[in-house]
Amino acid sequence: MAPVSVFEKDIPAGTREIGVVDALNEALREEMARDENVVLMGEDIGLNWHGAFKVTKNLAEEFGTDRVRDTPISENAIIGCGVGAALTGLHPVCEIMFGDLVTLAMDQIVNQAAKNRFMFGGQASVPLVIRTPFGAGGNYAGHHSSSYEAWFAHVPGLKVVQPSTAFDSKGLLKTAIRDNNPVMFCEHKRCYGQKGPVPEEEYLIPFGVADVKREGDDVTIIATSFMVFQALKAAEILKEEGISAEIIDPRTIRPLDSKTIGNSVKKTGRAIIVHEAVDFGGISGEITKQIIKEAFWYLDAPVTTVAGLDTIVGFSPVFEDGFRPDPNKIAAAAQELIRPA
Amino acid sequence: MDIQSIDPETLLHMYEVAFKIRQFESKVYEVFNLNLIPGTMHLYLGEEAVATGVCGNLTNEDFLTSTHRGHGHCIAKGADVKKMMAELFGRTTGYCHGKGGSMHIADFAVGMLGANGVVGGGIPIAAGAGLTCKLKHPGRVVACFFGDGASNQGANFHEPLNLASVWKLPVIFVCENNLYAMGTPARIACSVQDIAIRATGYNIPYQIVDGMDVVAVYEAAKEAVEYCRAGNGPYFIEAKTYRMKGHSKYDPATYRPEEEVQEWLARDAIQLYRSKLIDDAGFPADQIETIESRVNQEIEDAVTWASEGPQPVIEDALKGVYLEEDN
């Protein structure tokens, strides 16, 4: 059987379509069946609830409560227990119910998981996956809506994944579970309901390989996580205006595929970076730096960003919807780059 | 249980361990003051009986998590003093190739999962190692060392104690209560002066022992280790102990009343144990002296070996961050 492509656009027409939650669930199920050292830990991931977003549906039933472990509400102990289990031979996948709550486990993520291998002189490995949903979606307000992926991309020793589609979610999670380093697997609440083609055959998606989600000639839009779907809608708006946008989904932000991004910008001469995390200090700064390194002399316009407002996500739908970059804002930014007023 | 019910081999091995910790730390103090070691040091001088007595019940298959004051735990778990000393010297021949230093020495080959620069940082990790024991290697246990100061950490102490209890993880929580967290006395920082009382809140059985007495610690730990090996869940030991020196390198520890210091120094762990071995267990003094000579030579050799090790090069800084096929 030919290997399944690592790019969604190359998979055969007629492939079955499933949602992101089911794709993640399949990845967990397949990896648990493959490797008995894979254990899941998290709040309410087991028999009674199956995870706040149902990603662990039926896994406790299938693999037992020794391997799908409901935890107390103790984020630091969840991750710390994951680190200790990883150091001694298990391959834990820890779920933090909402991305904002990783703050309660920062010591174990940043000081322990990320640093152990280096500071023990290579004796240790920490094969640990931390899954958590970032992003606004559902009007959960300030403690359940933030996007902190850039913090973790700043930490040597961690890998940071941001899947968008169902295809990418499954292939990247399986890769994360086979990686022997700590991986921050950043899901998005608004991606969970997205459906897309996912082959029944097994496949893995390597880290550090961006996916060109749509080809175009006039402007490169680098979009992460849920913003990929917003950018794809923006591309349709721009098409009506006669503007051809290329959409690049980095898929992993550490490692970051600067070459694919740079090559696209060399072709289009214009770059917009779109993420939901607040603008100031976001991963757009790093991507901009990489564009300057790779393609500065090809730029026809300044690199720009469309990102979350520089504030806290508010409760009212007015605040939440207005916080997030939408297709119109992205399209307007592209129009401004191409036809300055 | 009296000393004569412990087998002679274990008794002598524990003396060698305790004495080795004492001599290693004394030598570290000496060479540190000659500016041969960069950074800082947190010496285990005075607390030798705790690591010795607990680890006297462990094998290399068992795991151990440690603290910033970790040299004693390393030696008691079976680490090589040459590679420890080389790490303190920052050389590539050290356990961590000069990347960790005093606060991050680890020896995974003997189950020593690392000292830790974050107070309490090793406690959740011990719970995780306990999960591995429970799921993969029933009968193995984890010894988790920490101090009175760490027992005030919320996420690093209270969360894993609760988790270990509800999951029945085979972890022996060993609180080395040396009465001070840096310069802050436990009497003004801890709501209870017997830290072990906190274990009752997590339904974990405990014992409080004289942390200057190797035999007392050994006996308490024996019961704890047997309890954990049998799959009953975690156990808590509080060892009352004392630092001979200050918290770290140049701390003269003048915040401790002289009377208190003298009272504790009079109960020196090595001298107490040595007397018991000769007077109560009947070992001839020259047998003890043979061990002491051997250890002294080992420590001298360790310093020589460490000082001859190569310095790292800056290119090494980018290696070993990730586990990939190429490094």
Q: Is residue A205 part of a domain?
A: no
Query: Which one of A148, A171, A197 terminates a domain?
Result: A197
| CA pair distance A142, A123, nearest whole angstrom | 40
- Kindly state whether residue A12 falls inside one of the protein's structural domains: no
- What pLDDT is stored for residue A5 in this prediction? 85
What CATH number does residue A63 fall under?
3.40.50.970
* Closest-CA distance of chain A to residue B321, Å: 5
- Name the residue among A67, A105, A119 with its Cβ closest to that of B100: A119
Alpha-carbon gap, residue B286 to A222, rounded angstroms? 76
Please state the pTM of the whole predicted model.
Answer: 0.96
How far is it, in rounded angstroms, from Cα B79 to Cα B110? Answer: 7
Kindly state whether residues A285 and A256 are assigned to the same domain.
yes
Kindly list the residues from chain B whose CB atom is less than 8 angstroms away from the CB atom of residue A69. Answer: 167
Nearest C-alpha in A relative to B160: A77
The per-residue pLDDT for B324 is 82
Last residue of a domain, one of A171, A197, A223: A197
Q: Looking up tokens 């949903």, which residue turns up?
A: A133
Residues A50 and A166 in one domain: yes
Nearest residue on chain B to A112, judged by CA atoms? B121
Q: Flag whether A122 is in a domain.
A: yes
On chain A, the residues whose CB falls within 8 A of the CB of B231 are none
A124 φ, ψ (degrees, to nearest 5): -105, 155
- Cα A329 to Cα A33: distance, rounded to the nearest angstrom: 44
Which of A37, A38, A76, A116 to mutate to test binding with chain B, by most B CBs within 10 Å of its CB?
Answer: A76
Sequential pLDDT tens for chain B (327 residues): 689 899 999 999 999 999 999 999 999 999 999 999 999 999 999 999 999 999 999 999 999 999 999 999 999 999 999 999 999 999 999 999 999 999 999 999 999 999 999 999 999 999 999 999 999 999 999 999 999 999 999 999 999 999 999 999 999 999 999 999 999 999 999 999 999 999 999 999 999 999 999 999 999 999 999 999 999 999 999 999 999 999 998 899 999 999 999 999 999 999 999 999 999 999 999 999 999 999 999 999 999 999 999 999 999 999 999 998 544
State how far the Cα of B313 lies from the Cα of B44, in Å rounded to an integer.
30
A282 and A150 assigned to the same domain = no
B255 to chain A nearest CA, in Å?
30
* A67 vs B contacts (CB less than 8 Å): 135
Of the residues A83, A119, A129, the best mutation for testing chain B's interface (the one with the most B CB atoms within 10 Å of its CB) is: A119
Amino acid at A23: A
A219 shares a domain with A169: no
- Please list the active-site residues of A: 144
Where do the structural domains in chain B lie, given as residue ranges?
A: 3-307
Is the same domain home to A113 and A238?
A: no
Contact B168, B138 (CB under 8 A): no
End residue of a domain, out of A167, A197, A227: A197
- The reported pLDDT for the residue numbered A3 is 61
CB within 8 Å: B159 and A77: yes
- For residue A5, being part of any structural domain is answered with no
Is A46 in the same domain as A158? Answer: yes
Strand partners, B184: B181
Cβ contact B113–A159 (<8 Å): no
Q: The domain that contains A261 carries what CATH number?
A: 3.40.50.920
pLDDT by residue for chain A (341 residues), tens only, comes to 456 789 999 999 999 999 999 999 999 999 999 999 999 999 999 999 999 999 999 999 999 999 999 999 999 999 999 999 999 999 999 999 999 999 999 999 999 999 999 999 999 999 999 999 999 999 999 999 999 999 999 999 999 999 999 999 999 999 999 999 999 999 999 999 999 999 999 999 999 999 999 999 999 999 999 999 999 999 999 999 999 999 999 999 999 999 999 999 999 999 999 999 999 999 999 999 999 999 999 999 999 999 999 999 999 999 999 999 999 999 999 999 997 65
Q: Which domain holds residue A298?
A: 211-338
ipTM of this predicted complex? 0.95
Name the percent of chain A in helix, strand, coil, to the closest 5. Answer: 40, 20, 40
Check residue A119 and give its pLDDT.
96
CA distance B159 to chain A (A): 6
Tell me, letter by letter, the H, E, C secondary structure of chain B: CCHHHCCHHHHHHHHHHHHHHHHHHHHHHHHHCCCCCCCCCCCCCCCHHHHHHHHCCCCCCCEEECCCCCHHHHHHHCCCHHHHHHHHCCCCCCCCCCCCCHHHCCEHHHCECCCCCCCCCHHHHHHHHHHHHHHHCECECEEEEEECCHHHCHHHHHHHHHHHHHCCCCEEEEEEECCEECCEEHHHHCCCCCCCHHHHCCCCCEEEEECCCHHHHHHHHHHHHHHHHCCCCCEEEEEECCCCCCCCCCCCCCCCCHHHHHHHHCCCHHHHHHHHHHHHCCCCHHHHHHHHHHHHHHHHHHHHHHHHCCCCCHHHHHCCCCCCCCC
User: Hey, how many other C-beta atoms are within 10 angstroms of the C-beta on A334?
Assistant: 27
Tell me, yes or no, whether A87 lies in a domain: yes
Q: What's the rounded Cα separation, in Å, for the pair A74 and A41?
A: 11
On whether both A156 and A257 belong to a single domain, the answer is: no
Structure tokens at B201: 């809140």
Cβ separation B128–A119 shorter than 8 A: no
B3-307 CATH: 3.40.50.970
Same domain, A58 and A182: yes
Residue A108 burial (C-beta neighbours within 10 Å; 0-12, 13-18, 19+): buried
User: Which residue does chain A place closest to B317, by CA atoms?
Assistant: A118
**A153 and A96 fall within a common domain:** yes
Closest partner residue to A119 (CB to CB) among B104, B108, B322 is B104
Co-location of A64 and A190 in the same domain? yes
Distance in angstroms (rounded) separating the CA atoms of residues B245 and B229: 35
Rounded CA-CA distance B165/B170 in Å is: 9
Helix (H) or strand (E) holding A277: strand A271-278
Our count of domains for chain A comes to 2
Element (H, E) at A199: none
